[in-house]
Amino acid sequence: MSGLAALLSGRVDPGIYLWHGAFDVEDVRRGVEHAGWGFGHVDGWVEGGKADFLAGVGDALGFPDWYGQNFDALADCLHDIGDGTEGVVLLWDGWATLARDDEKAFSIALSVLGSRVNADRGVPFAVLLRGEGPEVVGLPSLD
């Protein structure tokens, strides 16, 4: 978990990263939460389409009932996460399903997630796209 450990300790800036860590989701959760960060997990293998992704993120990050499961609502809710934590990590397994099936929705999802990563909120936010998938230009690896 060395790349993840570097992120959690502040040696790597929060961002959107490709990650190939083959750790069990619960082990990742424990490591992230032990560092004082919040954790959310989206299983893109099960929740593969745009609607499934939006619902999955809402569930994973504990969005309120009024969350409208669209990209505008996602942006609004993302800006309210993380209070009381050192930061938040969203682990997105199976991201390649949306990337391949709906390139436009995937691009918008990355843009919205990236807007939260780059927001000056004081609470770091990182997204880990775990596993293989199509090339995503400009995304660094956390490996």
Summarised one tens digit per residue, pLDDT across range 13-42 is 999 999 999 999 999 999 999 999 999 999
Please indicate, yes or no, if residue 16 is contained in any of the structural domains.
no
The pLDDT value recorded for residue 2 is 81
The pLDDT value recorded for residue 122 is 77
| Cβ atoms 133, 94 nearer than 8 A | no
The CA dihedral of 77, 18, 28, 57, to the nearest 10 degrees, is 20
Please indicate, yes or no, if residue 10 is contained in any of the structural domains.
no
Please indicate, yes or no, if residue 95 is contained in any of the structural domains.
yes
Q: Select the more confidently predicted residue: 1 or 60.
A: 60
The pLDDT value recorded for residue 1 is 57
Please indicate, yes or no, if residue 87 is contained in any of the structural domains.
yes
CATH of the domain at 94: 3.30.370.10
Domain containing 57 equals 37-130
Q: Select the more confidently predicted residue: 82 or 115.
A: 115
Please indicate, yes or no, if residue 25 is contained in any of the structural domains.
no
Please count the structural domains in the chain: 1
